[in-house]
């Protein structure tokens, strides 16, 4: 607590005396430069889905486990370290995984349990950390800059890790460094049960010998491009001229060069500040036609859920808003298990609307908002879906992406009259902070 106050006091001095003389951009950069080195902790639950399953049924511990679609055409959403030894990995077709590891026990996913446990860990961190970001369902960043003088940040983070393990019953790894990138790479490198510190100034030494694929932004395509040129380690990548990287990868080339040098200024974004996705529509003439309103809500859900998947995010809070013709505005929200699926969000939205709309008065506006967003779309949709389902979803999103969201719509909205269709085309889904506030 003292450290927060002190850090805040220091930043306050900068803000008060120096910042007014700087432009917004230089202000941010200058404040970062003036502050001592940052201290960023990355925490990542080990084999999270599998760990939750073992928490539910301790007899599963130590067995090769696969969480995923149980049908033969399903895919692997997650697997235990024991299964990984056989070459099983996530997103692999189930039949292939079972060929590699025939004795593996297959468990279908339990999103509700994963969401509950994710919230439990979030609360433990929120209770103690000065500033934290929930990067995905099982991953957190903590900005502990300025704590060192008082506590010894590494000791503090080790204690926090122990507390999480004790209170949640789930294994978690952590690493600490001067930025998000290096901490994340270190957690991945030393997990499971990692407790690692990369001291300031040693970022390059740590990253140098690692494979280029360990850098989060390097996907398969980038990696094979670099491999073809003989670039295998981060150290070799670092020696490439930045000019060459920008000509090969455009803007991403600079980012790649920075990452190879262990440079990453991206801030820890407070959990509560993460944006929501919302859309709303005001009607030309107020309406009481429930069928029409519901059709519009369906179209809205399709739109925001698509945006959610485009941003590779999941939501765990859905809000519906209605405004009556007399401008009375009412909202209702509900917390749900993390999802990005149209059909789940749709069911919730319809339930909320039914609860909300009980006055039989003319409505002039309806809106839908998805909040409590975290990253991680892929792994979640893998639970119940078969390979074909996933391919279908991807194909649908591809068409929407290319030709517009109104080109592919749910059959249940087909009976919506032409006028409503026109209204639906007018929707402007937008990312906003507190639109439905």
Footprint of Mg ion (CB under 5 A): 44-45, 48, 138
The residue whose Cβ lies closest to Mg ion is 138
Q: Closest approach of Cβ 48 to Mg ion, in Å? A: 5
Determine how many CB atoms are found less than 10 A away from the CB of residue 339.
22
What is the SS3 assignment for 313-363?
EEEEEEEEEEEECCCCEEEEEEEEEEECCHHHHHHHHHHHHHHHCCCCCCE
Q: Closest approach of Cβ 240 to Mg ion, in Å? A: 31
User: What is the radius of gyration, based on Cα positions, of the chain?
Assistant: 24
Please say which residue, 42 or 323, places its beta carbon nearer to Mg ion: 42
Please say which residue, 117 or 319, places its beta carbon nearer to Mg ion: 117
Residues with catalytic roles = 139
Please say which residue, 75 or 174, places its beta carbon nearer to Mg ion: 174
Q: Closest approach of Cβ 19 to Mg ion, in Å? A: 38
Q: How far apart are CA 11 and CA 8, in angstroms?
A: 5
Please say which residue, 138 or 342, places its beta carbon nearer to Mg ion: 138
Q: Closest approach of Cβ 45 to Mg ion, in Å? A: 5
What is the total residue count of the chain?
Answer: 437
User: Half-sphere exposure (CA, 13 Å, Cβ side) for 369?
Assistant: 19
Return the closest-CA partner of residue 213 out of 197, 179, 237: 237
Q: Closest approach of Cβ 139 to Mg ion, in Å? A: 6
What is the SS3 assignment for the chain?
CHHHHHHHHHHHHHHHHHHHHCCHHHHHHHHHHHCCCCCEEEEEECCHHHHHHHHHCHHHCCCCEEEECCCCCEEEEEECHHHHCCCCCCCCEHHHHHHHCCCCEEECCCHHHHHHHHHHHHHHHHHHCCCEEEEECCEEEEECCCCHHHHCHHHHHHHHHHHHHHHHCCCEEEEEECCHHHHHHHHHHHCCCCEEECCCCCHHHHHCCCEHHHCCCCCHHHHHHHHHCCCCEHHHHHCCCHHHHHHHHCHHHHHHHHHHCCCCCCCCCCHHHCCEEEEEEEEEEEECCHHHHHHHHHHHHHHHHHHHHHCCEEEEEEEEEEEECCCCEEEEEEEEEEECCHHHHHHHHHHHHHHHCCCCCCEEEEEEEEECCEECHHHHHCCCCEHHHHHHHHHHHHHHHHHCHHHCCCHHHCCCCHHHHHHHHHCCCEEECCCCC
């Amino acid at each position: 607590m003292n450290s927060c106050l002190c850090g805040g006091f220091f930043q306050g001095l900068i803000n008060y005396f120096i910042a007014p003389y700087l432009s917004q951009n230089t202000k941010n950069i200058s404040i970062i430069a003036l502050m001592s080195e940052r201290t960023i902790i990355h925490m990542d639950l080990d084999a999270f889905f599998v760990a939750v399953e073992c928490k539910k049924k301790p007899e599963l511990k130590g067995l090769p486990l696969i969480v995923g679609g149980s049908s033969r055409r399903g895919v692997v959403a997650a697997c235990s370290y024991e299964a990984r030894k056989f070459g099983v990995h996530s997103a692999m077709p189930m039949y292939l995984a079972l060929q590699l590891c025939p004795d593996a026990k297959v468990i279908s996913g339990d999103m509700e349990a994963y969401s509950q446990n994710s919230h439990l860990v979030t609360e433990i961190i929120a209770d103690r950390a000065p500033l934290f970001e929930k990067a995905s369902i099982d991953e957190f960043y903590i900005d502990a800059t300025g704590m060192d003088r008082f506590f010894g940040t590494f000791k503090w983070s080790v204690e926090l890790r122990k507390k999480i393990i004790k209170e949640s019953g789930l294994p978690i790894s952590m690493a600490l460094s001067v930025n998000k990138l290096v901490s994340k790479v270190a957690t991945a490198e030393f997990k499971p049960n990692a407790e690692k510190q990369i001291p300031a100034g040693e970022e390059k030494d740590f990253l140098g010998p690692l494979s280029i694929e360990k850098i989060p932004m390097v996907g398969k395509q980038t990696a094979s491009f670099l491999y073809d040129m003989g670039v295998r380690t981060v150290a070799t990548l670092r020696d490439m001229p930045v000019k060459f990287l920008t000509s090969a990868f455009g803007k991403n080339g600079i980012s790649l060069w920075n990452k190879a040098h262990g440079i990453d200024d991206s801030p820890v974004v407070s959990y509560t500040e993460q944006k929501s996705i919302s859309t709303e529509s005001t009607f030309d003439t107020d309406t009481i036609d429930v069928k029409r309103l519901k059709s519009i809500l369906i179209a809205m859900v399709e739109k925001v859920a698509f945006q959610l998947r485009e941003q590779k995010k999941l939501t765990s809070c859905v809000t519906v808003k209605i405004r009556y013709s007399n401008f009375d505005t009412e909202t209702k929200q509900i917390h749900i298990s993390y999802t990005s699926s149209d059909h789940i969000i749709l069911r919730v939205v319809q339930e909320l609307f039914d609860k909300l709309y009980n006055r039989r008065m003319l409505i002039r506006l309806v809106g839908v908002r998805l909040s409590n967003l975290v990253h991680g779309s892929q792994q979640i949709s893998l639970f119940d879906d078969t390979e074909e389902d996933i391919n279908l979803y991807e194909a649908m999103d591809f068409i929407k992406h290319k030709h517009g969201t109104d080109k592919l719509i749910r059959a249940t909205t087909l009976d919506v009259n032409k006028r409503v269709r026109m209204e639906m085309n007018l929707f402007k889904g937008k990312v906003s902070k507190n639109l439905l506030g």
